[in-house]
Amino acid sequence: MLQLSTLIKHHAQFRPDRVAVVFEQERLTWQQFEVRVRRCARLLSWLGVRKGDRVATALSNCRELLEVYWAVPSIGAVLVPLSPLLMPSGLASLLRDSGANCVVSQRSMAPMLDQARQELPGLAADHVLMVDGASGDYPDYASMLKTCPEGAVDAPAMRSDDLFNIMYTSGTTGLPKGIVHSHFVRSMYGTLFASAWRMSPESVVLHTGAIVFNGAFVTLMPCFYLGARYVLQRQFDAEEAIEIISREGVTHTMMVPAQIIAVLNAPNFSPEKLSSLQMILSLGAPLYREHKDLLNSLLPDRFYELYGLTEGFWTILDKTQSVRKSGSVGSPPCFYEMRIVREDGSDAPSGEVGEIVGRGPSLMGGYYGRPDLTAQALRDGWLYTGDLGYTDGEGYLYLVDRKKDMIDSGGVKIYPRDVEEVAARHPAVREVAVFGVAHEKWGETPVAAVILHAGAVVGADALRDWINERVGARYQRLHALRIMEDFPRNAAGKTLKREMRDAYQAEEGDSL
């Protein structure tokens, strides 16, 4: 039956000397990478990890994290990627929720793990491995690889619907939920995205962000499915990313909008250095048209945009449509269906805003241990996304906003993205986030946070007035605007509007 771990063995046999993984100064061929994956699988088996057990990672980007990603499913265990930015209570909560009995981490996480394990008596210290050297009672991963007995690991019988991973949501809308993906679903990531991105075994794929969030699998899975080259940056740095693209001849990369903006504004940016790119994929949040247009003018015929949820529904704006449909986030790919649904459950016609509802072969199995939340999201095989949008006459999707982000001001609905698109046109504005805050008269009123381009000089009140003169309706006018050095972001690089709203209201008071 289908088992994704066989991909590594396949490429080690048929592409043994081709470069598989590049991480900083390390370059591993498929044969070398397969040896490391096999050794990791043997270590986990020696520690008692069996089919169905949960193995968590709490790691920054590193070569060892990729090894674990492929070793865990090879023994039938379930991967649980966690952010190394978690605090002790959050870490303990997710380890408890997933039932992980083994953790691979790093020494900087040792204090958090010490506190978390006080709430997790079943997690033994010798089942917490550190990739960068032993720490206290936690053994060193590399030393353990050498210590465990030699011998082959028998791969258990697997089915396509066996769990591959539990991916926890980033928590931008509340407590994280564990989204379960099967081996079949992850194989759909590999095959369908390989086709959508026009990848081949000769492609060179760069990932610049944290691979603990689900967006990373959008290029990771097709790359490893094809046996292409995967280049991993330790952490995002725009100038370094440009140099890597130039040096490695990178053909495909994906970034969240903030990273794309940073690359476009990097001092070493030039279209010539990025000439090898065949794909620049934006995902995770809308990229404003101002930035789309700039990217398409500087690097034409390369831009793709993905609207998608970890829960498993996607639309893709193909590079061939990125200019003609620049305001859109694309259309559902083959084998996917989409509806726009009104509040009463009926389907909305083209041009009318409603909730985006979709289905396809990558839908999650559900939220781990939460049948109540699963029933809310998955209804009759359709995923209710909680996002608002509309379609044009050709079926292309236009994203309006998250339901939760919509501002209700005196009974009038304000979509923050409408105001953000206006603000992004100001030459001094690098990034913008609009959110609603409490107002004693109107219930809610819009406030903007803005990051300026380096060297730009404009006052907050002057910028607010500039935006208010250009919004489409009086009720969209900003009550206030704040200029910030940076936005709070999660591990995926997504802007955390909730934190900015809470901070604003804490300073200003709940009533403006």
If 0-12 CB within 10 Å is exposed, 13-18 middle and 19+ buried, where does residue 488 land? middle
**Predicted local distance difference test score (pLDDT) of residue 411:** 64
Domain spanning 406-508, CATH architecture: 2-Layer Sandwich (3.30)
Give the end-to-end CA distance of the chain in Å, rounded to a whole number.
61
**Predicted local distance difference test score (pLDDT) of residue 298:** 96
Q: Name the CATH superfamily for 183-402.
A: ANL, N-terminal domain (3.40.50.12780)
Q: Which of 60, 83, 54 is nearest to 164 (CA)?
A: 54
CA distance 82 to 58: 5
**Predicted local distance difference test score (pLDDT) of residue 511:** 43
**Predicted local distance difference test score (pLDDT) of residue 444:** 84
If 0-12 CB within 10 Å is exposed, 13-18 middle and 19+ buried, where does residue 393 land? exposed
Phi-psi region of 133 (alpha: psi -120 to 50; beta: other; left: phi over 0): left
H or E element at residue 407 = strand 407-409
CATH topology of domain 27-158: Rossmann fold (3.40.50)
- Low-confidence residues of the chain, pLDDT below 50? 171-174, 510-512
Cα 22 to Cα 105, 205, 206, 316, 448, distances in angstroms: 21, 10, 9, 28, 40
Phi, psi of 151 (to 5 degrees): 130, 155
Three-state helix/strand/coil letters over 70-134 = HHHHHCCCEEEEECCCCCHHHHHHHHHHHCCCEEEECHHHHHHHHHHHCCCCCCCHHHEEECCCC
Contact yes or no for 359/337 (Cβ under 8 A): yes
**Predicted local distance difference test score (pLDDT) of residue 440:** 72
**Predicted local distance difference test score (pLDDT) of residue 498:** 83
CA atoms within 13 A on the CB side of 274: 27
H or E element at residue 221 = helix 217-226
Within this chain, domains 183-402 and 406-508 share the same CATH topology: no
Cα 328 to Cα 68, 189, 215, 358, distances in angstroms: 37, 22, 19, 17
Amino acid occupying residue 503: A
**Predicted local distance difference test score (pLDDT) of residue 32:** 98
Q: Where are the alpha helices (DSSP H) in 279-409?
A: 289-298, 371-377
pTM for this structure? 0.85
H or E element at residue 304 = strand 303-308
Place of tokens 């080259």: 229
Greatest distance between any 2 Cα atoms in the chain:
72
Q: Which residues contact 508 (CB under 8 A, 6 or more apart)?
A: 437
**Predicted local distance difference test score (pLDDT) of residue 2:** 60
**Predicted local distance difference test score (pLDDT) of residue 510:** 47
Contact yes or no for 357/383 (Cβ under 8 A): yes
Domain boundaries, the chain: 27-158, 183-402, 406-508
CA distance 232 to 220: 10
Amino acid occupying residue 419: V
Q: Which of 333, 131, 313 is nearest to 234 (CA)?
A: 131
